Chains A and B, each alone.
Chain A
Amino acid sequence: AQKVTQAQTEISVVEKEDVTLDCVYETRDTTYYLFWYKQPPSGELVFLIRRNSFDEQNEISGRYSWNFQKSTSSFNFTITASQVVDSAVYFCALSEPYNNDMRFGAGTRLTVKP
């Protein structure tokens, strides 16, 4: 069965620091999707990115970037020049297309202090 591990339970940084959130996954399938979601203090879940297993190209979206490495089964998320509004719990998730069961990591709580 697939599994997602976010080893960092909580991270605290000062505004403008860069921060990387780690995500390691396990799956037996060669085809799968990886996701990151943000959960701000208000509680809703906000979709950030989806990455397909056959596309290892890293992606940058503004201050956010994602590093997907199949060799180490990792899909890490970096926030550059963090801001207080980035404070949230971030979830990494894995989905296999043939069993339709999306598995989430336990989440990493990021606190950005002014």
Chain B
Amino acid sequence: DADVTQTPRNRITKTGKRIMLECSQTKGHDRMYWYRQDPGLGLRLIYYSFDVKDINKGEISDGYSVSRQAQAKFSLSLESAIPNQTALYFCATSDLQGPHQETQYFGPGTRLLVL
């Protein structure tokens, strides 16, 4: 079984709809992240969380919200989807084992199309 899973893997929605993307991990990591990938732009950080009580905005948090329900679960919500949120979304986890010892492990991605 994959260590980091994302559901759904593909989603088509309409402008104005609220949708939630879910991420679960079995790695036991404290840190979780949400990125979006757009062609030619690489990955950009949306939100990140270092533990259940910690939520931080990333580079492009506007239009998104997150919930860290448990150490293993980190959900991303689009309150009112718009077409320019069409992208590939990745969840990642990491375990900071010490200074300079962090590596992020990514889920398989969720393709979102907003019509």
Contacts from A to B (Cβ < 8 Å) = 4, 6, 9, 31, 33, 35, 37, 43-47, 50, 52-54, 91, 93, 95, 97, 100-107
By beta carbon, the residue of chain B nearest A92 is: B42
User: Which of A43, A46, A103 has most B Cβ within 10 Å?
Assistant: A43
> Are A43 and B108 in touch, CB under 8 angstroms?
yes
**Contacts A43-B108, A97-B99 known; A105 to B90 CB distance under 8 Å?**
no
Query: Among B45, B103, B109, which residue has its beta carbon within 8 angstroms of that of A43?
Result: B109
Question: Smallest Cβ distance from A93 to chain B, in angstroms?
Answer: 8
Query: Among A43, A44, A102, A105, which residue has its beta carbon within 8 angstroms of that of B104?
Result: A102
Question: Smallest Cβ distance from B75 to chain A, in angstroms?
Answer: 20
Compute the total of residue contacts between A and B using a CB distance below 8 Å.
Answer: 61
- In which size bucket is the chain B interface? 20 to 34
Decide yes or no whether B79 CB sits under 8 A from chain A: no
Decide yes or no whether B26 CB sits under 8 A from chain A: no
Interchain Cβ contacts under 8 Å between A and B, 24 examples? A4-B42, A6-B42, A31-B100, A33-B100, A33-B102, A35-B103, A37-B106, A43-B109, A44-B107, A45-B90, A45-B109, A46-B106, A47-B103, A53-B100, A91-B42, A97-B99, A101-B59, A102-B45, A102-B104, A103-B45, A103-B59, A104-B44, A105-B42, A107-B40
> Are B42 and A44 in touch, CB under 8 angstroms?
no
CA distance A62 to B105 in the complex (A): 22
By beta carbon, the residue of chain A nearest B9 is: A43
B107 / chain A contacts, CB cutoff of 8 Å = 44
By beta carbon, the residue of chain B nearest A6 is: B42
> Are A107 and B42 in touch, CB under 8 angstroms?
yes
By beta carbon, the residue of chain A nearest B111 is: A43
